[in-house]
Amino acid sequence: MLGRVIGPFALRGWIKIKCYTEEPGDILNYRSWLLHKRGAQWPVTVLRGRVHGQGVIAYLDGYVDRDQAAELSGADIAVSIEQLPRLAKGEYYWAQLIGLTVVTTHGTQLGMIEYLFATGANDVMVVRGEREWLLPYIPQVVQEVKLHQQLMVVDWDPEF
Same structural domain, 75 and 9: yes
pLDDT value, residue 95: 85
Q: CA 84, CA 82: separation in Å to the nearest integer?
A: 6
Same structural domain, 9 and 59: yes
Q: Considering only CA atoms, which of 119, 118, 124 is closest in space to residue 154?
A: 124
pLDDT value, residue 3: 93
In a domain, residue 87? The reply is no
Instruction: Yes or no: say if 156 and 104 are a contact pair by the CB < 8 Å rule.
Output: yes
Same structural domain, 72 and 115: no
In a domain, residue 89? The reply is no
Same structural domain, 71 and 10: yes
In a domain, residue 72? The reply is yes
pLDDT value, residue 22: 82
In a domain, residue 29? The reply is yes
State whether the Cα torsion 60-96-90-129 is positive or negative: positive
Residue-wise pLDDT tens for the chain (160 aa)? 899 999 999 989 999 999 988 888 999 999 999 999 999 999 999 999 999 988 999 999 999 999 999 999 999 999 998 898 889 998 998 889 999 999 999 999 999 999 999 898 999 999 999 999 999 999 999 999 999 999 999 999 988 7
pLDDT value, residue 156: 97
Same structural domain, 101 and 143: yes
Q: What is the pTM of this model?
A: 0.70
CATH number at residue 143: 2.30.30.240
Instruction: Yes or no: say if 115 and 133 are a contact pair by the CB < 8 Å rule.
Output: no
**CA distances to 16, 30, 62, 63, 141 from 48, in Å:** 12, 11, 12, 12, 43
H/E stretch holding 137 reads strand 132-137
pLDDT value, residue 11: 87
Q: What is the CB neighbour count within 10 angstroms for residue 104? A: 15
In a domain, residue 36? The reply is yes
In a domain, residue 160? The reply is no
Same structural domain, 59 and 104: no
Number of domains in the chain: 2
Same structural domain, 101 and 54: no
Q: Which of these three, 57, 80, 103, is where a domain ends?
A: 80
Q: Which domain holds residue 35?
A: 3-80
